[in-house]
Structure 1
Amino acid sequence: MLTPAARGTLGETVLEALRAGNTAGLAELPGPDDADDAQITLWSLFELHHRGFDDVADELEWDPQLIALRRRLEDDLEQQLRDRAPEPPAPGAFAEDFFAFIAGHDGPSAAAHLHRTATKEQALEFLRHKSIYTLKESDHTTWTIPRLSYPVKAAVVELQYDEYGGGNPHRLHANLFAKGLAASGLDAEYGAYIDEAPLEVLVQNNVMSLLGLNRRLRAASLGFLAAFEATSSAPSRKIARGLQRLDFPAEMIEYYTEHVEADAVHEQLAVRTVCGALLEEEPEQYENVYFGAWACLHVEDLYADRVLKEWTG
């Protein structure tokens, strides 16, 4: 993958510096022009810790200037989220309270639109947007594993083993999605559609990387995971039925049908065993677990609200 197109003055300067390998002074640059400029720049800096870019030297991954700039941008993103996050429910029976918290959330649903009324073009756009994350599905959670105690680590690895295909690369979820993209006539190359990704897709991906990369946010990353799994099964069923309605190929539908059953199991594991075990050991992480869970719901709401307004007027 090559570096994406810039979306403002900051991005132009940073991406040119990445390609040239000259990062002097980047940490002192003025702030971004707007949210798009900030988020594509932050996404590019985070991507150095994923697969990187073909036109950027691998040695720049931990460049001090880039890390300092990334810290500025990710701190701004985290603060924006914390300013909007609600107070968590009072501590009680964690699993039951967490599922009630998820059930009580009433946000817009792109899946419901895809199920009943989306056009083929809208479904293809949805898949292109989702490819930015899904072609590296679960990788941000894997970053948390070295930061966890043995019981929590074992539970996360159990879940991740399923996400990564149980040792079979053909069943790895990201690979299933790539096969579905190709069968649908879309580009299955990693990052192929980054230049058309709206702001909300960038924010969603950046929040995952923010939580996964920072050890102090490990509980928030696991809370994000738990909310993600707890809100995946039913929407996946709706999306699969919508894709069937629109005559998408079996390979694309299979990705979503795989998640109907798998995530129904994963939600129990993520909430009760992963987050439950974490909070038994570190009860002081309670607020961060809920912060991550809320962030998961919030960024999906932002995306759904954006595309539904575009699709339905």
Structure 2
Amino acid sequence: MTTAAPTDYAASRPSTVTAPRLPAACGPLSDAVIEVLSTGRTDALPTVSADTDPLGRDLQLALYTLYELHYRGFDGVDPELEWEPDVLRMRRDLERVFLGHLRSAVEPGDDPVAEMDALSVEATSGTGPSWFFKDEGSWDQMREYFAHRSLYHLKEGDPHAFVIPRLQGQAKASFVAVEFDEFGGGRGERVHQQLWADLMSAAELDPTYLGYIDRVSAETLSTVNLMSMFGLHRSLRGAAIGHFAAIEITSSPGSARLVAGLRRMGAPEECVHFYAEHVEADAVHEQVMRHDVVGDLVRREPGLASDVVFGMRTLDYLDELAAEKMLAAWRRGESSLLP
């Protein structure tokens, strides 16, 4: 009997490298993190001072880079660093500064139902990007908006998925049902991350994961860091659910305004389609999140009510900062992206 030679899988398989490159550092914290990930040496990690700017780009980029070890990692970076104690210790120090700022900046509350009722009231006017693009704003500015939003939409659904094992009962079942839609209902081409990549390509932008990390503001980075922090900590599971609920409650009206703006601009259909998809889907998701997820979670664990509200209010706080940074640049006739 002739024994077949073993298959050289490394030679026979197509390339499966999907990890992005490391970003460019912008200060001592991010420089130290990137150096550690590049070399594997953890002895040079600095101490994070309590007076470090919590919303500065250096801290936010350092934190974002460390969080990415729990997602797709980076090309050429040892995946074992995800659980390296010194790396985790640095991440925790950065989180303490960030979370401490949020706790002091956001008004506390303990009534998720009242909070969701307030979010559900559809405004007749506003100052955010969806209002700006509905009636004014140029196609070039919309493309910049896409670049900022790509940091979230190319991982849409992923940060909140970390909370699934921390739920039970109806809250878990209903939350998974909403996430199932985010992940395309079982169809790869319908995954919202893929729909966003299609949007980016149609807008002649870079559709690759983290393609614009070196060009977005600290405020944009902070909006994604927030959901990663909530998702990765069991102690913040209530905030993760509140954050996700607030997204679903407010998404449909905002998406409708963006659809109107995109049609006004004559944008490619792939761009219109992404937001049109969210107008319908998120209107349904709102009811599921309100009653079956938040409602069931708070009934089971009433002590999480204040964290649920915290998650909702921090979403609004950081989204407003990011939006104002973009809009202020556009009002000055400047680009909102870094050079």
Instruction: Report the TM-score range of the alignment, normalised by the length of the smaller protein.
Output: over 0.9
Q: Once the 2 structures are TM-superposed, how far is the Cα of residue 172 of structure 1 from its aligned partner?
A: 0.7
Residue 243 to residue 32, structure 1, CA distance change in 2 (3 Å): farther
Aligned partner of 1:140: which letter?
Answer: P
Following superposition, the deviation at residue 150 of structure 1 comes to 2.5
Distance 1:26 1:307 in 2: 32
- Counterpart in 2 of 1:188? 207
Task: Give the corresponding residue for 2:250.
Answer: 231
What is aligned with 1:200?
219
- Structure 2 distance, partners of 1:45, 1:86, is 28
Matched with 2:172 is: 153
Q: Work out the CA distance in 1 between the residues paired with 2:305 and 2:106.
A: 14
Contact 2:33 2:66 in 1 (8 A): no
Q: 1:97 to 1:31 in 2, by over 3 A?
A: closer
Q: Distance in 2 between matches of 1:99 and 1:307?
A: 28
1:59 aligns with 2:80: yes
Aligned length: 310
Change (3 A) 1:107 1:203: farther
1:45 and 2:66 are equivalent in the alignment = yes
The answer to whether the 8 A contact 1:107-1:301 is kept is no
TM-score w.r.t. length of structure 2? 0.87
Indicate if the aligned counterparts of 2:243 and 2:312 stay in contact, CA closer than 8 A.
Answer: yes
Match of 2:45 in 1: 26
**1:77-129 Cα deviation digits (max 9, x unpaired):** 1111110111315x4xx535522255499973111111111111100000000
Q: Distance in 2 between matches of 1:65 and 1:31?
A: 18
Amino acid at match of 1:172: V
Question: Residue type of the partner of 1:99?
Answer: D
Contact 2:119 2:250 in 1 (8 A): no
Q: Deviations over 1:257-295 (max 9, x none)?
A: 000010011111111111100000000101000000001
C-alpha displacement of 1:252: 1.3
Runs (4+) of structure 1 exceeding 4 A deviation are: 29-34, 104-107
- Among candidates 210, 222, 241, match of residue 222 of structure 1: 241
Partner of 1:255 in structure 2?
Answer: 274
1:194 counterpart SS class: coil
Match of 2:160 in 1: 141
Q: d(CA) in 2 for partners of 1:39 and 1:103? A: 32
Q: 2:283 aligns with which of 251, 256, 264?
A: 264
Equivalent residue for 2:295?
A: 276
Q: Report Cα offsets for 1:164-184 as digits up to 9, x if no partner.
A: 110001111111110111111
Evaluate the alpha carbon distance shift between residue 119 and residue 183 of structure 1 in structure 2; reply closer, same or farther with a 3 A threshold: same
Change (3 A) 1:280 1:309: same
> How far has the Cα of 1:31 moved from its partner?
7.1
Higher-Rg structure is: 2
2:183 is the alignment partner of 1:164? yes
Cα-to-partner distance string for 1:143-165 (whole Å, 9 max, x where unaligned): 00011112211111010011111
CA drift of 1:221 comes to 0.2
Q: Which runs of 5+ in 1 are unaligned?
A: none
| Structure 1 position 112 matched with structure 2 position 112 | no
Structure 2's unaligned 5+ residue stretches are 1-19, 333-339
Aligned equivalents of 2:292, 2:251: Cα separation in 1? 18
SS at match of 1:186: coil
State the SS of the aligned residue for 2:211: coil
Paired residues of 1:9 and 1:33 also in contact (CA < 8 A): no
> What amino acid is aligned across from residue 45 of structure 1 in structure 2?
L
Structure 1 contact 95–272 (Cα < 8 Å) conserved: no
What is aligned with 1:75? 96
Q: TM-score scaled to structure 1, two decimals?
A: 0.94
Query: Cα RMSD (Å) of the superposition?
Result: 1.8
Residues in 1 aligned to 2:293 and 2:21: alpha-carbon distance in whole angstroms: 36
Gap change, CA 1:65 and 1:232, over 3 Å in 2: same
Contact map agreement 2:154 2:197 (CA 8 A) in 1: yes
Name which of structure 1's ranges 29-38 and 215-224 shifts more when overlaid on structure 2.
29-38
Amino acid aligned to 1:77: F
Distance, in Å, in 1 between the alignment partners of 2:126 and 2:109 is: 18
Distance (Å, rounded) in 1 between the aligned partners of 2:178 and 2:265: 31
Task: Answer whether contact 2:122 2:253 (CA < 8 A) is retained.
Answer: no
Corresponding residue SS for 1:37: helix
Q: Which of the residues 111, 117, 121 maps onto 1:99?
A: 117
Q: Indicate how the Cα distance of structure 1 residues 246 and 77 shifts in structure 2: closer, same or farther if over 3 A, else same.
A: same
**Partners of 2:72 and 2:302 in 1: CA distance:** 34
Give the 3-state SS of the residue equivalent to 2:214 in structure 1: helix
Counterpart secondary structure, 1:26? coil
The residue type equivalent to 2:118 in the other structure is A
Q: Distance in 1 between matches of 2:79 and 2:189?
A: 28
Measured at CA, do residues 155 and 101 of structure 1 come closer, stay the same or move farther in structure 2, by a change above 3 Å?
A: same
Contact conserved, 1:9 with 1:32, CA < 8 A, in 2?
no
Q: Calculate percent identity across the aligned residue pairs.
A: 38
1:254 positional shift: 0.3
**Selected match of 1:13 from 26, 29, 32:** 32
